[in-house]
Amino acid sequence: MQTLKLVAVSAGLSSPSSTRLLADRLTQATRYRLAEQEYAVDVEVVELRDLAVDIAHHFVTGFPSEALQGAIDKVTGADGVIAVTPVFTASYSGLFKSFFDLVDPAALTGTPVLLGATGGTARHSLVLDHALRPLFAYLRARISSTAVYAASEDWGSGGDEYTEGLPARITRAGQEFAELIAAAERRAGDGEEELVPFEKQLADLRLD
């Protein structure tokens, strides 16, 4: 049985936090679906609140602490990343952005990523498409089609005949993300041809 490495990044500031809770629920849904496909899953969680001082020091000194470097290595070495942030001023938190600012822009290329966010009101739900997707598109990650936003009132609601509840959205997101990870593993196992940068293709043509 193949073992996949799944890393959840939570930028929640309190303990416990709804951000960590959403990250855990998304992880559970993904893990369950991967287990159905006969994958073993090794899960690690990166709590950014524990690295806040290290992240600030890195920006000032240019050198990461051992703990911060370990967290970055976990994320960049994962088969799939679940990234969840609280919403502040209609965008991701500064702590969340600061951490991913320290990740090499090419390190997440092709890595499946599932996005999530939490906030006090449903009016902030567009943060998923207006802030988070552009960030991870820039990092060239493979972004899962369904992202999950959880407002405060969503936690006690199962939805109704007109509105899909949070548990159903989490389940659907986890299933789709698991399929994305599995597809990436199959492509890697089949020896998918490496993409050649356009600049190199031009250079080869000039040599001919």
Amino acid sitting at position 199: E
Q: Number of folded domains in the chain? A: 1
SS3 121: coil
Specify the pairing of strand 91-92 against strand 80-88.
antiparallel
Q: What is the largest CA-CA distance in the chain?
A: 65
Is it the case that residue 206 has pLDDT exceeding 90? no
Residue 134's CATH number: 3.40.50.360
Range of the domain at 164: 3-207
C-alpha distances out from residue 127 to 27, 131, 138, 188, Å: 21, 5, 16, 32
pLDDT in tens, 130-181: 999 999 999 999 999 999 999 999 887 765 545 679 999 999 999 999 999 9
Alpha-carbon dihedral angle through residues 145, 150, 154, 159, given to the nearest 10 degrees: 0
Task: Note the pLDDT of residue 121.
Answer: 87
Is it the case that residue 192 has pLDDT exceeding 80? no
Q: Which of 202, 184, 205, 6 is nearest to 109 (CA)?
A: 184
Report the pLDDT averaged over residues 40-65: 96
Q: What is the pTM of this model?
A: 0.88
Is it the case that residue 103 has pLDDT exceeding 60? yes
pLDDT in tens, 5-49: 999 999 999 988 999 999 999 999 999 999 999 999 999 999 999
